[in-house]
């Protein structure tokens, strides 16, 4: 997989829950950016990482009153939260949260008009997890869960008012590697005329010379699916301090202020 930098409606929530990013389709802690390849080639991104994140059944609480969360919904006590982009399409910003709920690590969303939805996840990575969100050019309200070794993809499916994990071509949850596997080093987004485009990126070193490739990742919220597009070489034959090399270790989509990133609370 690969990563690009695009902007659309982007917001990140930093939640303390172990998370990591790698552009790649497959296990949650895998990387998704292949080694340098020539432009206009299509290569599947797949990751199988050391600290897989798994999700359990999502829970949703429908809102009973338009414009307000249902009674009993909302953010769990002690959760890490952040205001994020409009995920449910009602024109108002929503809230991302990370929390320990009855012994389960959960990633959740509270929307203004459609209540609360959350998913459980696990990760062997020692880092606390963070979460951010962006609305991509495809219209997919996408949530990124960073566990420290990889970043997993979720979408908020408006028809179901539910947060759902996004599988890749192999049926496994799509994830971006953060350099812990051979599949990539990060993700990025790039704004084009039709909106924000997501890429998995990979910085590769050979004899002191660096190259960076990126693969577009197309997220379909209706089918709840992600696929890899073309792989292109961004730069080659440069030093480790080149901006494209250092930027290939990013983990957020678009320019997201720290206030829009949710972090998992420390135990």
**Which residue bears the tokens 């949650």?**
28
**Which residue bears the tokens 């994140």?**
53
Residue 2 lies in a domain: no
Residue 3 lies in a domain: no
**Is the pTM for the entire model greater than 0.75?**
yes
46: its two tokens? 């797949």
Residue 170 lies in a domain: yes
Residue 31 lies in a domain: yes
Residue 1 lies in a domain: no
164: its two tokens? 């759902």
Over the chain (267 residues), what is each successive 10-residue block's mean pLDDT?
38 36 44 33 34 35 32 78 95 95 93 92 92 96 96 95 95 95 93 96 96 97 95 97 95 90 87
Range of the domain at 102: 9-263
63: its two tokens? 């809102």
Residue 259 lies in a domain: yes
Residue 132 lies in a domain: yes
What's the domain count of the chain?
A: 1
What was the pLDDT predicted at 148? Answer: 93
Side-chain-facing half-sphere of 171: CA atoms under 13 Å: 0
Residue 212 lies in a domain: yes
DSSP state of 186: E
Bin 89: left if φ > 0, else alpha if -120 < ψ < 50, else beta: left
Residue (of 88, 40, 81) closest to 62 by Cα position: 88
């Amino acid at each position: 997989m690969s990563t690009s930098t695009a902007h659309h409606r982007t917001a990140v929530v930093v939640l303390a829950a172990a998370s990591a990013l790698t552009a790649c389709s497959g296990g949650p802690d895998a990387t998704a950016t292949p080694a340098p390849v020539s432009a206009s080639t299509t290569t599947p991104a797949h990751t199988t990482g050391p600290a897989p994140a798994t999700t359990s059944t999502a829970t949703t609480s429908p809102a009973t009153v338009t414009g307000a969360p249902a009674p009993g919904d909302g953010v769990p006590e002690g959760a890490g939260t952040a205001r994020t982009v409009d995920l449910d399409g009602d024109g108002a910003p929503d809230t991302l949260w990370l929390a320990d709920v009855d012994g389960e690590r959960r990633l959740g969303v509270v929307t203004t008009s459609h209540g609360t939805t959350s998913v459980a996840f696990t990760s062997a990575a020692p880092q606390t997890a963070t979460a951010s969100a962006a609305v991509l050019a495809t219209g997919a309200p996408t949530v990124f869960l960073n566990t420290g070794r990889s970043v997993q993809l979720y979408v908020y499916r408006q028809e179901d008012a539910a947060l759902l994990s996004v599988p890749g071509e192999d049926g496994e949850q799509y994830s971006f590697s953060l350099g812990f596997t051979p599949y990539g080093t990060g993700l990025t987004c790039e704004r084009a005329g039709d909106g924000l485009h997501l890429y998995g990126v990979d910085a590769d070193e050979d004899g002191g010379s660096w190259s960076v490739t990126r693969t577009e990742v197309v997220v379909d919220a209706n089918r709840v699916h992600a696929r890899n597009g073309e792989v292109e070489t961004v730069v080659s034959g440069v030093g480790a301090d080149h901006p494209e090399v250092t930027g290939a270790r990013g983990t957020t989509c678009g320019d997201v202020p720290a206030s829009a990133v949710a972090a998992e609370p420390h135990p």
